[in-house]
Structure 1
Amino acid sequence: MISRRSTMRPMSDINVVPYIDVMLVLLVIFMITAPLMNSGQIDLPSVGKSLAPPVAPLEVIINKDSTLALNDRSEEGPERNVTREELIELLKQKQAQNADQPVVISADKNVRYEEVISIMDVLQQQKIKKVGLLAQTKGR
């Protein structure tokens, strides 16, 4: 009896044949049922008006000496020096063409805060809806 016990060692092999059989059966089932499934139909929402690309903003530039300039980014060309009255007239014309025309204010860092606020006040009086301030990121 002692000799018989020593010949019986624990088995350290894993029989993977049944697992392979199960996987092949599952593969056959999926291969048969996949073509029978309906592809889903997606109903996309519709919009009332077409999506237009964003309009390039008008840039109001306030220089160090508090002079004003206007740069229309949608048109190729240099900035145009303007007075406050000319700025108001040009903004009225642009807003008549496109009421959603955004305007950004670009001021030199040495310009007094009052000058920027007064230009923002002019823009608000002209009923310009989209106003932003242009800033430069710090260099590394």
Structure 2
Amino acid sequence: MIRRQKKKRKLNADINVVPYIDVMMVLLVIFMITAPMLTQGVDVKLPKASAEPVDTENQEPIVVTVDKEGLFYIDIGSDDPLEPVAESELEQRIQKVLAGNPKQLLLVRGDKEVSYDRVIQLMSLLKGAGAESLGLVTE
């Protein structure tokens, strides 16, 4: 009798990474689609500019928006950024934030249709509240 020797199959001990790559690609697509939707909810048309972006790695900036009607909106943590804020209330909120962190960066988002005077009024109000760092948001 001739005995057939069975060849021993070598076990494959490699981790199959193809499913992980598939999952990562799906996550990448989801993040690419949802990232533009994470901007502040007030609809403003920003003016175009060719300026260098501001470094915001150390802290999250506070964004104050002026819409085309000249109404102010503030985006601080849990506050509703879609609710207009009166000038006096805006100044008080900014003073509270700056009392804890005087170096806090404030960004002004002004609709391109709002008057230049209204944006300057907002910047003066923020400076009067104690803001040391002000920036303008453009496209």
**1:69 and 2:69 correspond:** no
| Partner of residue 110, structure 1 | 113
Shift in Å, 1:64: 0.8
Q: Quick one: which amino acid aligns to residue 112 of structure 2? A: K
- Within-5 A mapping of 1:17-28: none
**1:120 and 2:123 correspond:** yes
RMSD after superposition: 1.5
- Within-5 A mapping of 1:1-140: 54-72=58-76, 75=77, 78-79=80-81, 80-136=83-139
TM-score (norm 2): 0.55
Paired residues, what number?
A: 82
Q: Deviations over 1:63-113 (max 9, x none)?
A: 1111110012xx366414211011000000000111111100001100000
TM-score (norm 1): 0.55
Deviating beyond 2 angstroms after TM superposition, the runs of 4 or more aligned structure 1 residues are 75-78
Contact 2:102 2:130 in 1 (8 A): no
Counterparts of 1:55 and 1:116 in 2: how far apart (Å)?
24
Counterparts of 1:76 and 1:124 in 2: how far apart (Å)?
23
Secondary structure of 2:125 counterpart: helix
Structure 2: gaps spanning 5 or more residues:
1-56
Percent identical pairs in the alignment equals: 23
Counterparts of 1:63 and 1:56 in 2: how far apart (Å)?
22
